[in-house]
């Protein structure tokens, strides 16, 4: 289902020099050489074709990843907030205890 589909391999041979050979007794004429034909570059990258089923699977998978990452980040933020509150409560209790200790002298 999720296996990639690769295009067929390019099996074309390079163009062969097709200029006619001169006869042994012929005289070469100073004619301009023909311009080489423009060849489109061939890409070696495979093309990815998405079917409706694979597009749906990709969307669902991406949504699941976003939800999981969001849940982890919210959990970390909540853990930091709870730790900060507990440190603040401990600080208030210690301050109260030190105040009572100093008043008893």
Whole-prediction pTM = 0.45
The reported pLDDT for the residue numbered 16 is 64
Answer whether residue 1 shows pLDDT above 70. Answer: no
Q: Which residue from 36, 35, 31 is spatially nearest to 15, judged by alpha carbons? A: 36
Q: Is residue 22 within 8 Å of 28, Cβ to Cβ?
A: yes
pLDDT digits (tens, 9 = 90+) for 17-66: 666 555 556 555 566 667 777 777 777 777 778 888 999 999 999 999 99
Burial of 91 (0-12, 13-18, 19+ CB in 10 A): exposed
Q: Which residue from 68, 48, 62 is spatially nearest to 7, judged by alpha carbons? A: 48
Reduce the DSSP state of residue 67 to 3 states and report it: helix
């Amino acid at each position: 289902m999720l296996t990639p589909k690769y295009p067929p391999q390019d099996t074309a041979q390079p163009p062969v020099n097709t200029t006619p050979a001169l006869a042994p007794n012929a005289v070469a004429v100073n004619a301009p050489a023909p311009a080489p034909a423009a060849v489109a570059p061939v890409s070696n990258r495979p093309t990815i074709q998405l079917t409706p089923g694979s597009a749906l699977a990709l969307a669902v998978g991406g949504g699941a990843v976003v939800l999981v990452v969001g849940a982890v980040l919210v959990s970390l933020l909540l853990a930091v907030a709870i730790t900060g509150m507990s440190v603040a409560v401990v600080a208030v209790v210690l301050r109260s205890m030190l105040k009572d200790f100093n008043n008893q002298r």
